[in-house]
Chain A
Amino acid sequence: MPGLPAGWPDVTVCCVWLPLLPLRVAVLQHPEWDGLPLVLSGAPGERKVVQRCSLEAEQAGLQPGLPLREMLARCADAVVVQPDPEAEAMALKQVIEGLQLVSPDVEVQSEHLYVNLRGLRDLHHGELPLLDRALRAAVPLMLKPRIGMAGNKFTARAAAEAAAPRGTQVVPAGDTTGFLAALPVSLLPLSTATLQRMDALGLCTIGELAALPFSAVQAEFGKAGARAWRLAHGQDDEPVLPYQAKPTVAAGITLDDPLSSIEGFHTALRMVLGRAFGDPGLHNRSVRKVRLSAQLSTGASWEQLLVFKGALMGRDAVFRALKDKLEVANALPPAPFETLAAELTDLGVETGKQPSIFAKNVQQEQQLAEATRQLQTRYQTPPVYHAVEVEPWSRIPERRWALMPFDP
């Protein structure tokens, strides 16, 4: 990478910034879109306005918040990209895994990924360009990563945002204050109200803030202002918090024909949860979080992260909680879905469970469950099904009912 200093200046943190990640992931899937004005629309069911737009789209006069119908009038060549959280998460995961090969300490903050560089000097023969090459090998070029290296996280982030597209900006620890001085105060982690007050007071650059006495800044802007002042002076001792994958149990189904009804969604959800709770990893474990995702027939994807108030055990309890949460929030898939997957995480230990001694047919159900298990072991496929209503009103007869494997 031209412009990189030879040797290994005093840098300990690297920030890899993936600007406009949702749009760049779309380019990753459609390389022919690179260089075109790209616009991220709202998810199906959301307001039809521009959420984010590429540099080319901004140059064409587009901006976030613009209604989509006005957008086409202003820039007929614009490509509207629908949010695809599934593809985005997958791309991000690949980048994280790649960076973890360079350093085990990788922290993820949305589109900013921090890498701890401590201890890497000898591995790269004391040559920063070699490290830069290793970092870039972990990130697909189409994502247009910008890399910043500095003595702390905040400066590394500022350096990444100041770097040229696909470029690297290195700020040795000794140059931190000088580098930050010319940057706008909007880079500091401050609320909009605080930034507006700074603007009213004529504080535009980080250097102007740093020139004020600490006590005055703290008195005027409080705790956040004090932190901003320290950051402006290159004092950031926040460590890189390594990303750790939590134990997760995942299950999913693929449908031959997309389902659009609420009943169909519930049937598919019950089935997916049945698969997940059949996983030995969930044996005697409780669940706090569920991430549901689906591929929609429109080509977009749908994703919901649902957190329970308390840990839940068993398929039925989780199903009821999910059903209620999704219906209350009106968060069901906005279009017919072709796949449905669930990832259960934040697993806990077993909580108390007291079955009723007066429940009917308990013995019969246990016998049926045992017989089903034995048959499944023998034939490797679900041997017992029960018929469920999927879309009973459908004009297409084979959509009305379906067989669902009996999952004891």
Chain B
Amino acid sequence: MVPNTRKALGAHALRPLGVANALTVEAGTHGEPRSVQKPVWHAPRRVLAVQDAWRIDDEWWRDRPIARRYFCVQVEGDLLVTLYHDLAIDAWFEQRG
């Protein structure tokens, strides 16, 4: 039997790339975003058009299932923003990457 030192594991985790940033979003009655505000913006920007929408449900067998409703929206200033509504914790994030 190999002796076991049982040393504590180091917290040297892999750092995921493209981690989502929190956003402030005002949503409509059907859950679609109406205005978006990033932390670096002074004021919310109105959503001019929703260009695409899709949904991801994954890892439903785990403690933290993934349920996201994605939107690719055009906001004032002709910017395209990909954001999602995390249905598990009811919060909005900007998806990067």
Contact = CB atoms under 8 A, between A and B. Distances in A.
Interface of A: 89-90, 93, 108, 244-246, 248, 250-258, 267-268, 271, 275, 289, 291, 297, 305, 339, 341, 343, 345, 382, 385, 387-388, 390, 395-405
A369 to B, nearest CB: 18
18 contacts: A90-B6, A93-B6, A250-B7, A253-B10, A255-B13, A258-B62, A271-B12, A291-B2, A297-B62, A343-B2, A345-B2, A390-B16, A397-B95, A397-B97, A398-B19, A400-B97, A401-B16, A401-B97
Contacts of B58: 395-396
Given A89-B4, A341-B9, A402 B17 contact: yes
B66 interface: yes
B1 interface: yes
Nearest to A307: B2
Contacts of A382: 12
Given A246-B3, A248-B2, A248-B5, A398 B62 contact: no
B15 interface: yes
Interface in B1-60: 1-7, 9-20, 56, 58
A252 B18 CA distance: 24
Nearest to A89: B4
Given A93-B4, A248-B2, A250-B7, A403 B15 contact: yes
Contacts, number: 97
A275 B12 CA distance: 9
A253 to B, nearest CB: 5
Given A108-B1, A396-B58, A401-B17, A275 B10 contact: yes
Contacts of B10: 251-254, 275
Contacts of A248: 2-5
A113 to B, nearest CB: 12
Contacts of B96: 397
Contacts of B56: 395-396
B15 A385 contact: yes
Closest 7 CB pairs of A and B: A252-B9, A402-B14, A245-B3, A401-B17, A403-B15, A250-B7, A398-B16
A206 B69 CA distance: 72
Interface of B: 1-7, 9-20, 56, 58, 62, 66, 95-97
Given A93-B6, A254-B13, A401 B1 contact: no
B17 A398 contact: yes
Given A396-B58, A398-B19, A343 B14 contact: no
A111 B10 CA distance: 31
A307 B62 CA distance: 34
Contacts of A390: 14, 16
B95 A254 contact: no
Contacts of B62: 258, 297
B26 to A, nearest CB: 24
Contacts of B3: 244-246, 248, 345
A253 B12 contact: yes
A386 to B, nearest CB: 11
B5 to A, nearest CB: 5
A256 B12 CA distance: 10
Nearest to B84: A397
A390 B14 CA distance: 10
B15 A253 contact: no
Contact of A401 (B9, B18, B20): B18
Given A93-B4, A246-B3, A271-B14, 18 more contacts: A89-B1, A248-B3, A248-B5, A250-B5, A252-B9, A254-B10, A255-B13, A256-B13, A267-B14, A268-B14, A289-B2, A291-B2, A297-B62, A398-B19, A398-B97, A400-B97, A402-B17, A404-B14
Nearest to A256: B13
A297 B96 CA distance: 26
B66 to A, nearest CB: 6
Contacts of A388: 14
B14 A255 contact: yes
A255 B96 CA distance: 21
A339 B9 contact: yes
A291 B6 CA distance: 12
Nearest to B17: A401
B13 A253 contact: yes
Contacts of B2: 246, 248, 289, 291, 305, 343, 345
A83 to B, nearest CB: 15
Nearest to A94: B6
A331 to B, nearest CB: 16
